[in-house]
């Protein structure tokens, strides 16, 4: 065990494993996903670490020779395993959230625009716009509400639920009116049959 903790070994794992984990952690802030198997995470971390290492070496090659002396060994090391991976993670995450260059990521066997394993996770991803929803339960009853900035949806296998910040009554002619007094609702996914998302045109109607 003591051999694994010496400086040379630590630097190796930080360079070729930790850097990849930093990229994965930062990227996860931009895309909805479930935790993959440990073996998959290790492979992905190594691949990202290698990409990070190649880019770091390229940047060093472009930089003036004196930069290493000015910045110092420690600064360069933390730039290599923390700063640069953080920037790459943000770029990869933003790229995935926009669905750009999907063919490129597929060739690398890396996650693409919809990395979540459940359609539910993708539907309630971070870029979900504020809008009205109709929640239908197995018994046919419905709840009309607003999924807004203060709403939340969680798809945990045992405790999945959805919180709607505003609840509405719908008249026979289809007009939505906020309940009196105003109400919000927390509902379990267990008995839900479907969730409909209304477009802006539907809302205006």
Give the C-alpha distances (Å, rounded to integers) separating 102 from 20, 44, 125.
20, 17, 18
Which pTM was predicted?
0.51
Pull the structure tokens for residue 76. Answer: 């360069």
Query: In the β-sheet with 161-164, what is the strand arrangement from edge to edge?
Result: 152-154, 161-164, 185-188
Distance CA(2)–CA(121), nearest Å, equals 43
pLDDT (average), residues 173-187: 89
Q: What is the mean pLDDT of residues 147-172?
A: 82
pLDDT for 126: 58
Is residue 15 within 8 Å of 49, Cβ to Cβ?
yes
More confident residue, 120 or 75: 75
CA 160 to chain CA centroid, nearest Å: 18
Q: For residue 137, how many other CB atoms are within 10 A of its CB?
A: 15
């Amino acid at each position: 065990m003591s051999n694994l903790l010496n400086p040379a070994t630590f630097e190796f794992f930080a360079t070729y494993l930790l850097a990849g984990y930093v990229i994965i952690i930062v990227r996860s802030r931009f895309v909805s996903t479930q935790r993959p198997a440990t073996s998959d995470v290790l492979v992905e971390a190594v691949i990202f670490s290698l990409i990070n290492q190649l880019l770091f070496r390229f940047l060093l090659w472009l930089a003036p020779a004196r930069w290493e002396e000015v910045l110092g060994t420690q600064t360069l090391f933390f730039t290599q395993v923390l700063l640069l991976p953080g920037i790459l993670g943000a770029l990869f995450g933003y790229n995935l959230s926009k669905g750009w260059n999907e063919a490129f990521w597929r060739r690398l066997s890396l996650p693409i625009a919809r990395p979540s394993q459940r359609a539910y996770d993708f539907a309630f991803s971070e870029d979900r716009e504020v809008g009205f929803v109709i929640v239908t339960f197995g018994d046919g009853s419905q709840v009309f509400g607003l999924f807004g900035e203060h709403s939340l949806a969680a798809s945990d296998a045992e405790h999945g639920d959805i919180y709607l910040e505003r609840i509405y009554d719908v008249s026979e002619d289809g007009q939505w009116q906020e309940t009196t007094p105003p109400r919000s609702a927390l509902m379990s996914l267990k008995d839900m049959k479907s969730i409909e998302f209304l477009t802006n045109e539907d809302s205006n109607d």
